[in-house]
Amino acid sequence: MGDFEKLLQKAEEIAKRIINVIKAGKKIALIAHIDADGIATASILIKAIYRKSGRFMVRVIGDLELQLLDELKESDYELFIFCEIGGGLVNEIIKRLQDRWIIIDHHKVSNEELSMDNVFNAWQFGFNGSVEICGAGMAYFIAIKMDENNVDLSYLPVIASLADRQDQGIKRSLISLNEKIVNDALKYGYLKVTTDLLLHGRETKPIHEAIASTTMPYIPNLSSNRDLCLASLTSAGIKLKDNGRWRTIAELSNEEKMKVVEVIIPHLSGAVNKKVEDLIGTVYTLIKEDENTPLRDAREFGTLLNACGRMGRASIGISICLNDRDQALQEAQKILEEYRQDLNRYLQIILTDQSRVIDNEMWSLINGDGLVNPNMLSPLASILATIPRFKGKLILVKTIMNNNEVKFSVRFGIDCEPFISLASLINEAATQCGGLGGGHDTAAGARIPLTNVEKFLEFISLKLRSLK
């Protein structure tokens, strides 16, 4: 069990440091990761700093490059706050920024980094950053120490933790520190928690489109196939329209919802009971959001933020987190559709082009070279991990970057019980190959020189064999 009091004590120290910079009239730079958690982390700090009349700038990036650190070194900012990014590069940060930095994170990093005063990481206090708290949650505790009225930001860590797939409790619920934040959001009327079908667009899309839009978990034949979803539901006798208007999942009776599950079950393979459990669970509804937007369901909100960041439009995601519900929301919905189309295109090509998949007894390597945008690698890997084709395997998805590096995203496939921390494995493999790697116990990534790909894969194979 972690030490929450020590976490809050350090959050207060950081809050005071930020306030002192603001009072001195100095500027703060926020450097955030492009995923939903990074965007939400930055948004929480933006709001907290703005409410204190602070001066700041925000930059959202996919990877922290040394060139950017060199640029920051020459700038006139007093404090640099790295939001869910920067782990593994602390020594490089110190070389350039001395003591003018803070990292807010939840990824597993070295004990050396965890011992540093300028690092604020869940693992320092005995909390598992993979499931108990996300980066936005860590930022939230700083924000409420800056001003207790920042409790109105409590819904943002809920969105971020769901986007990071931290819903690992009973019935896909949030646990530990995440649950504390959920309770804040409940107490102040921002959230409602129920149990329902976890299909994408459960309140906003026609039933067949909701099933077709669901890729986590991936439903063979139905995910991305609206026509077959429609035909299957019609054959099952489910009433899809009411006075000419398409019904949604949220409008169905419990009996009708079970019929929907029965339609899906024949398309599931492997551990069917487990997959059915993945389809029914805890729903986090943002009750102040319009029922007709993807912001109403916290999981969908997270997907939208991911889409904005991964499609190079993080500023739109931040605007939405800061309560822009007009032009920014319209733009974000277009971005979300493009994001889903790109992921679907990647999936269709990978699943039909056998030359892009290499299997051995330990892992499946998916080659995204020339196809997959490096910023899209992580969400693609998460979807591939739910596909029966890669059952029981470690999944490594790679794509070449523009700087003669290769980016990897690594996951455990269906029925592949975690037998090693992927964060530790990938960090060690990347370090051996002159790269950088890390992440969480069940989801990790790396960047390595193009010339060392074979060495990287060989190291992983040897390590896995030694554990079998």
Give residue 362's pLDDT.
84
Say yes or no to pLDDT of 17 above 70: yes
Q: Which segment of 36-40, 253-257, 464-468 scores lowest on mean pLDDT?
A: 464-468
Q: What is d(CA 48, CA 51) in angstroms, rounded to the nearest whole number?
A: 5
Give residue 468's pLDDT.
64
Say yes or no to pLDDT of 220 above 60: yes
13 sits in which H/E element: helix 4-23
Predicted confidence band at 269 (pLDDT cuts at 50, 70, 90)?
low
How many angstroms from the chain centroid is the CA of residue 454?
A: 28
Predicted confidence band at 273 (pLDDT cuts at 50, 70, 90)?
low
Give residue 415's pLDDT.
81
Q: What is d(CA 41, CA 85) in angstroms, rounded to the nearest whole number?
A: 11
Predicted confidence band at 270 (pLDDT cuts at 50, 70, 90)?
low
Exposed, middle or buried, 107 (CB in 10 Å: 0-12/13-18/19+)?
buried
Give residue 280's pLDDT.
87
Give residue 211's pLDDT.
92
Q: Which fold has domain 354-467?
A: Diaminopimelate Epimerase; Chain A, domain 1 (3.10.310)
Predicted confidence band at 248 (pLDDT cuts at 50, 70, 90)?
very high
Predicted confidence band at 120 (pLDDT cuts at 50, 70, 90)?
very high
Say yes or no to pLDDT of 306 above 90: yes
Please count the other Cβ atoms lying within 10 Å of the Cβ belonging to residue 135.
Answer: 35
- State pTM to two decimals: 0.94
- Residue range 435-462, pLDDT digits in tens: 999 999 999 999 999 999 999 999 999 9
> Contact 161/36 with Cβ under 8 angstroms?
no
Q: What average pLDDT does this structure show over 163-185?
A: 96
- Residue range 312-345, pLDDT digits in tens: 999 999 999 999 988 999 999 999 999 999 999 9
- Residue range 370-382, pLDDT digits in tens: 999 999 999 999 9
State what percent of residues in the chain have pLDDT above 70: 98
Domain boundaries, the chain: 4-147, 196-349, 354-467
Helix intervals (H) in 360-437? 377-384, 422-432
CA distances from 437 to 243, 310, 397, 467 (A): 54, 19, 14, 20
> Contact 204/296 with Cβ under 8 angstroms?
yes
Predicted confidence band at 78 (pLDDT cuts at 50, 70, 90)?
very high
Say yes or no to pLDDT of 37 above 80: yes
Predicted confidence band at 1 (pLDDT cuts at 50, 70, 90)?
confident
- Residue range 404-440, pLDDT digits in tens: 899 999 999 988 877 889 999 999 999 999 999 999 9
Say yes or no to pLDDT of 271 above 60: no
Q: Which fold has domain 4-147?
A: inorganic pyrophosphatase (n-terminal core) (3.90.1640)
Exposed, middle or buried, 327 (CB in 10 Å: 0-12/13-18/19+)?
exposed
Say yes or no to pLDDT of 231 above 70: yes
Predicted confidence band at 49 (pLDDT cuts at 50, 70, 90)?
very high
> Contact 160/36 with Cβ under 8 angstroms?
yes
